[in-house]
Amino acid sequence: MINDDKKNENHKKRQQKLKEKVDERIAAATEDKGLLLVITGNGKGKSTSGFGMITRSVGHGLQAGIVQFIKGTWECGEMNLLKQHGVKHHVMKTGFTWETQNKEADTAAAQVAWAEAKKMLVDTSIDIILLDELTYMVTYGYIDLEDVISALKNRPAMQHVVITGRACHRQIIELADTVSEVQSIKHAFDNGIRVQKGVDW
């Protein structure tokens, strides 16, 4: 019993110290800034996270824009919802897939999508932009890295941008304020389970 009291007291002291440290850090973080966020890695959850931030923003009455650089085979559940809330949206007009055969057509479609993204990146009325799967466009050389970097650097100071996709280029990661790598521990697909509505699209 005495031992338990002692343990409780020690736990309380440790928690108190931790709280003081966290409070100090919260008090020190006073700056506001348009953030560049990158969600990369091989695990599931990158686009979901991007769409989640857009949904949060819309919930606060912020103006949001989305450019999807890979047109999925399935309709996008989030988009069905967000379109009803005035979110500006462009989806790349090609059946770009992993087995893509037509480099010219894909490059042209990627550049049209990138031009739409650039319009958003100079629009001060847009508070947050999701550039979903942008990383692949840079990897495949469909859009120019320097152009991407320059558009990101010159965007309105308070505008947030979220970039998703695997294997994000090092220079974009360096420019970003917040970078998360989603690691795959396991995925249902590996056990022969196909994509599920609501979970995957």
Site residues, ligand ATP (CB under 6 A): 42-48, 164, 166, 182, 184, 187, 189, 195, 200-201
184 is in the binding site of which of Mg ion, ligand ATP, none (Cβ under 5 to 8 A by kind)?
ligand ATP
Tokens 């509505």 correspond to 197
Closer residue to ligand ATP (CB): 5 or 74: 74
Q: Of 2 and 74, which has the nearer Cβ to ligand ATP? A: 74
Q: Could you tell me if 161 and 34 are in contact, meaning their C-beta atoms sit under 8 angstroms apart?
A: yes
Give the residue with the Cβ less far from ligand ATP, 140 or 201.
201
Closer of 63 and 134 to ligand ATP (Cβ):
134
CB distance 134 to 84 below 8 Å: no
CA end-to-end span of the chain: 54
123's contact among Mg ion, ligand ATP, none, with CB below 5 to 8 A by partner kind, is none
The Cα–Cα gap between 89 and 79 comes to 8
Smallest distance from ligand ATP to CB 146, Å = 25
Q: By the 8 A CB rule, do 161 and 152 touch?
A: yes
